[in-house]
């Protein structure tokens, strides 16, 4: 299971792409099957938590990289 696939789907959904369109962009949709199921059928809170869990590490990595960017 690749974390980038989960982050890709979470980011896509967060910017308004449908779950089905996001997972169709992947070569192996089975890698995100459980995550996609939560996004499709979970409660609003469950969907929000699932997206946040996938995007938090991405945000942390971006924040860490920011210190190396030139002003």
The predicted model scores a pTM of 0.83
Sign of CA dihedral 39, 43, 49, 55: positive
Tell me 31's DSSP state: G
What are 6-55's pLDDT values in tens digits? 999 999 999 999 999 999 999 989 989 999 999 999 899 999 999 999 99
Q: Is residue 61 part of a domain?
A: yes
Q: Is residue 12 part of a domain?
A: yes
Domain extent for 18: 3-66
Number of domains in the chain: 1
Q: Is residue 23 part of a domain?
A: yes
Q: Is residue 10 part of a domain?
A: yes
Q: Is residue 71 part of a domain?
A: no
Which residue in this structure is represented by tokens 């996938």?
54
Asked if residues 39 and 51 have their Cβ atoms less than 8 Å apart, the reply is yes
């Amino acid at each position: 299971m690749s974390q980038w696939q989960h982050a890709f789907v979470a980011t896509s959904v967060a910017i308004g792409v449908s779950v089905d369109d996001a997972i169709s962009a992947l070569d192996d949709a089975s890698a995100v099957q459980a995550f996609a199921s939560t996004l499709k059928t979970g409660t609003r809170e469950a969907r929000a938590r699932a997206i946040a869990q996938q995007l938090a590490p991405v945000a942390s990595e971006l924040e860490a990289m920011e210190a190396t960017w030139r002003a």
